[in-house]
């Protein structure tokens, strides 16, 4: 049997702890073994990713360590770098928030003893603050192991002071082990955190790295693998990180013998005076995702403008045209891009929700999210809010949404019976059945008006295509694939065209989607 394609597992600190316990009780992996494996793997991944840093024979490295296993990982990493000839022990220092006692037998105290024996300097932050500060200031590379998943509440005390100094240094490369110190599942925007150049994300990767509020602090996220058996990780993870390579595989390709009606049909209600572009972008998005037919119903005053140069989109007068009178019943409907929140939209919204109750996939974007706040859904809706829209819709603050996306979305999806795509520089997706996904973004090419309209179109296009194969198809997969496609398209378009408009990004999306789903190589019928 072929393996089911999936993203990378993400876990909370609680899940990581449970996994640790099971690793020890059932797999013979005690804390010493885990710290050894993690620290050495971190050294290997880091040296392999940044070989240029190690060309300097006088490279000065400082480890900033706490007293837990995160500090132990950092010290084992340093020991491995020294043993592999990447640094000389006499150029290395250990700046430690609490020095392990002589009699302690923990992974941290053992790693500490080994480094001291090799000749690394040690500087307790509380009693030798000035020397500790100088060691950090003069380091070319700082390895941050102050606190990992053992962080309780916000950083305070010596670790807080150490983090403050590290953040003030402009010329050193800061690499955090596991998570940047200060980053945790409950971190809020004003909680201090180390801003790392890179983070060595020890498997299973911690989900807090992808909370929008903390994502920037993690810098370049480097997965560190080979620590835990996959089966063990599978049994503890509940959220997955998807990229385009993985996500494209969960969507069936088009068939070589498809006809326009069988490739998925999409009907869009979008645009209003001043926002006609949103309708055009959304329609092009649905085409780019592979829909066979796209119909755009626009307000009467916009209809002539949009109809000219419609590029194969069937444009009609939205004031009189009804769903289905375009000779096909849509497999997916999209309402909202640039639509406005006028009450006159409500009858259309009600009809669309009626279709949704009978299983038609319905994407509600932008203004349609606001309009639908008090309506009930029946499991075939995808909502695509950004932080402001999510905050209004759920009655929370934007900051809460950006700090705890998983918890908030899981609850809202279940209550509303809707798949939700929460858009930001990291996109989070939830399903009423409890599935959660994150798609890393960090693609400023998408931070421009119209990217959301494009996502809504991509989403409707994919939902329409999959609905054709699987009635009441898996909208969560469609949403994950659309978000991953948008990010990949944003990156590709930026590489080719720099700052570009959303229609250029749509062309990049069409290219990627076509290569993934129109190859005809698989020749496989799904559903
Ligand atoms: N399954 C896993 O996740 C694995 C975890 N490992 C490492 O172990 C780490 C977890 O280790 P521990 O549970 O020992 O804890 P940590 O080492 O993450 O945290 C404990 C340290 O943080 C300090 N601290 C906690 N809250 C603080 C606050 N609010 N302000 C200031 N300082 C604070 C404590 O005083 C202590 O020094 C992970 O992040 C990872 O680096 C690896 O060794 C191997 C496998
Ligand atoms: N820095 C970024 N990195 C990655 N994706 C981003 C970034 N900024 C915005 N996006 C994405 O671009 C889209 C913007 O949507 P939205 O704010 O609704 O735009 P609009 O309403 O102008 O179309 C979302 O999908 C969001 O995830």
| Atom 40 of ligand 1, residue of closest alpha carbon | 70
Q: How far away, in angstroms, is 412 Cα from ligand 2 center?
A: 21
Residues in contact with 86: Cβ distance below 8 Å, sequence separation at least 6, in sequence order: 43, 47, 54, 59
| Atom 29 of ligand 1, residue of closest alpha carbon | 155
Residue 259: both structure tokens together: 């006809």
193 lines ligand 1 (CB under 6 A): no
- Which ligand sits nearest to residue 100's alpha carbon? 1
Cα–Cα distance, 139 to 177 (Å, whole number): 17
Which residue ranges have their beta carbon within 6 Å of ligand 2? 366, 386, 423-425, 427, 441-444, 446-447, 449-453, 455, 486
Cα–Cα distance, 306 to 365 (Å, whole number): 20
**What pairing do the DSSP bridges indicate for beta strands 121-124 and 314-317?**
unpaired
Q: How far away, in angstroms, is 17 Cα from ligand 1 center?
A: 10
Q: How far away, in angstroms, is 213 Cα from ligand 2 center?
A: 15
108 lines ligand 1 (CB under 6 A): no
- Which ligand sits nearest to residue 158's alpha carbon? 1
Predicted local distance difference test score (pLDDT) of residue 410: 97
Predicted local distance difference test score (pLDDT) of residue 202: 97
Q: How far away, in angstroms, is 37 Cα from ligand 2 center?
A: 38
Please provide residue 297's backbone torsions phi and psi, each rounded to the nearest 5 degrees: -105, 110
- Which ligand sits nearest to residue 77's alpha carbon? 1
Predicted local distance difference test score (pLDDT) of residue 526: 45
The answer to whether the CB of 270 falls within 8 A of the CB of 455 is no
Query: Which stretches in the chain have pLDDT values below 70?
Result: 1-5, 471-472, 520-527
Predicted local distance difference test score (pLDDT) of residue 323: 86
Cα–Cα distance, 130 to 123 (Å, whole number): 10
Binding residues: 278, 338, 386, 423-427, 452-453
DSSP 208-268: GGGSHHHHHHH-EEEEE-SSS-HHHHHTT--EEE--HHHHGGGSPPPPTT--TTTT-EEEE
Neighbours of 421 (CB within 10 A): 30
Let me know the angle formed at the C-alpha of 454 by 449 and 458, rounded to the nearest 5 degrees: 165
Strand ordering across the sheet containing 61-65 = 121-124, 92-96, 61-65, 141-145, 173-177, 198-202, 220-224
The answer to whether the CB of 16 falls within 8 A of the CB of 206 is yes
Predicted local distance difference test score (pLDDT) of residue 98: 79
For a ligand 2 pocket test, name from 369, 441, 487 the mutation site with the most ligand atoms within 8 angstroms of its C-beta.
Answer: 441
The answer to whether the CB of 75 falls within 8 A of the CB of 107 is no
Residue 104: both structure tokens together: 């302690």
- Calculate the CA dihedral of residues 103, 108, 113, 116 and round it to 10 degrees: -140
For a ligand 1 pocket test, name from 69, 124, 187, 226 the mutation site with the most ligand atoms within 8 angstroms of its C-beta.
Answer: 69
Q: Which residue, 75, 64, 145, is CA-closest to 111?
A: 75
| Atom 9 of ligand 2, residue of closest alpha carbon | 447
- Which ligand sits nearest to residue 96's alpha carbon? 1
Q: For residue 443, which atom of ligand 2 is closest to its CA? A: 3
Q: Please give the model's pTM, rounded to 2 decimal places.
A: 0.96
**What pairing do the DSSP bridges indicate for beta strands 8-11 and 239-241?**
antiparallel
- Here the ipTM equals 0.95
Q: How far away, in angstroms, is 38 Cα from ligand 1 center?
A: 13
Please state whether the peptide bond connecting residue 214 to the residue before it is cis, i.e. omega within 30 degrees of 0. no
Q: How far away, in angstroms, is 445 Cα from ligand 2 center?
A: 9
HSE on the CB side for 504, CA within 13 Å? Answer: 16
| Atom 13 of ligand 1, residue of closest alpha carbon | 150
Q: How far away, in angstroms, is 221 Cα from ligand 1 center?
A: 18
Predicted local distance difference test score (pLDDT) of residue 210: 98
184 lines ligand 1 (CB under 6 A): no
Q: For residue 204, which atom of ligand 1 is closest to its CA? A: 3
| Atom 42 of ligand 1, residue of closest alpha carbon | 35
The answer to whether the CB of 171 falls within 8 A of the CB of 205 is no
Binding residues for AMP: 423-427, 452
Q: How far away, in angstroms, is 169 Cα from ligand 2 center?
A: 31
Per-residue pLDDT reduced to its tens digit, 86-109: 999 999 999 999 777 778 888 999
| Atom 2 of ligand 2, residue of closest alpha carbon | 425
64 lines ligand 1 (CB under 6 A): no
Residue 159: both structure tokens together: 């670790």
| Atom 39 of ligand 1, residue of closest alpha carbon | 148
| Atom 18 of ligand 2, residue of closest alpha carbon | 452
Domains and CATH numbers, the chain: 8-239 (3.40.50.10260), 245-516 (3.40.1190.20)
93 lines ligand 1 (CB under 6 A): no
Cα–Cα distance, 265 to 288 (Å, whole number): 13
Q: For residue 157, which atom of ligand 1 is closest to its CA? A: 31
Q: How far away, in angstroms, is 14 Cα from ligand 1 center?
A: 12
Q: How far away, in angstroms, is 398 Cα from ligand 1 center?
A: 29
């Amino acid at each position: 049997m072929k393996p089911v394609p999936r993203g990378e597992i993400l876990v909370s600190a609680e899940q990581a702890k449970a996994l640790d316990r099971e690793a020890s009780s059932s797999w013979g992996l005690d804390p010493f073994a885990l710290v050894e494996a993690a620290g050495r793997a971190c050294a290997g991944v880091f040296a392999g990713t940044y070989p240029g840093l190690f060309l300097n024979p006088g490279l000065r490295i400082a480890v900033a360590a706490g007293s837990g296993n995160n500090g132990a990982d950092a010290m084992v990493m340093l020991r491995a770098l020294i043993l592999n000839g990447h640094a000389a022990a006499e150029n290395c220092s250990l700046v430690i928030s609490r020095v392990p006692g002589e009699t302690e037998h923990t992974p941290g105290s053992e790693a500490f003893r080994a480094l001291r024996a090799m000749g690394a300097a040690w500087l307790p932050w509380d009693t030798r603050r000035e020397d500790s500060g100088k060691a950090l200031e003069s380091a070319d590379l700082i390895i941050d192991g102050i606190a990992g998943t053992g962080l309780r509440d916000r950083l305070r005390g010596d670790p807080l002071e150490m983090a403050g100094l590290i953040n003030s240094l402009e010329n050193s490369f800061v690499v955090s082990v596991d998570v940047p110190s200060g980053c945790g599942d409950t971190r809020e925007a004003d909680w201090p955190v180390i801003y790392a150049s890179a983070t060595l994300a020890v498997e299973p990767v911690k989900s807090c790295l992808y909370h929008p509020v903390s994502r920037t602090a993690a810098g370049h996220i480097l997965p560190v693998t080979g620590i835990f058996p996959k089966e063990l990780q599978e049994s503890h993870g509940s959220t997955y990180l998807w990229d385009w390579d993985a996500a494209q595989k969960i969507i069936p390709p088009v068939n070589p013998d498809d006809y326009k009606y069988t490739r998925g049909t999409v009907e869009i209600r979008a645009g209003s005076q001043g926002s006609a572009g949103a309708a055009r972008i959304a329609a092009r998005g649905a085409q780019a995702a592979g829909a066979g037919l796209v119909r755009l119903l626009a307000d009467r005053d916009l209809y002539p403008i949009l109809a000219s140069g419609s590029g194969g989109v069937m444009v009609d007068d939205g004031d009189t045209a009804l769903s289905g009178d375009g000779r096909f019943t849509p497999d997916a409907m999209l309402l909202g891009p640039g639509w406005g929140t006028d009450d006159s939209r409500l009858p259309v919204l009600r009809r669309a929700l009626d279709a949704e109750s009978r299983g038609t996939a319905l994407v509600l974007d932008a203004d349609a999210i606001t309009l639908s706040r008090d309506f009930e859904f029946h499991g075939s809706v995808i909502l695509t809010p950004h932080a402001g829209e999510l905050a209004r819709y759920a009655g929370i603050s934007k900051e809460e949404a950006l700090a705890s996306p998983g918890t908030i979305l899981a609850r809202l999806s279940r209550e509303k019976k809707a798949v939700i795509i929460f858009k930001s520089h990291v996109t989070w997706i939830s399903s009423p059945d409890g599935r959660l996904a994150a798609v890393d973004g960090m693609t400023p090419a998408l931070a421009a008006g119209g990217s959301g309209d494009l996502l809504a179109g991509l989403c409707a296009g994919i939902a329409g295509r999959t609905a054709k194969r699987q009635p009441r198809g898996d909208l969560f997969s469609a949403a994950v694939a659309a978000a991953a496609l948008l990010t990949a398209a944003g990156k590709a378009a930026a590489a080719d065209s720099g700052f570009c408009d959303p229609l250029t990004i749509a062309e990049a999306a069409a290219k990627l989607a076509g290569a993934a789903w129109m190859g005809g190589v698989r020749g496989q019928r799904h559903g």
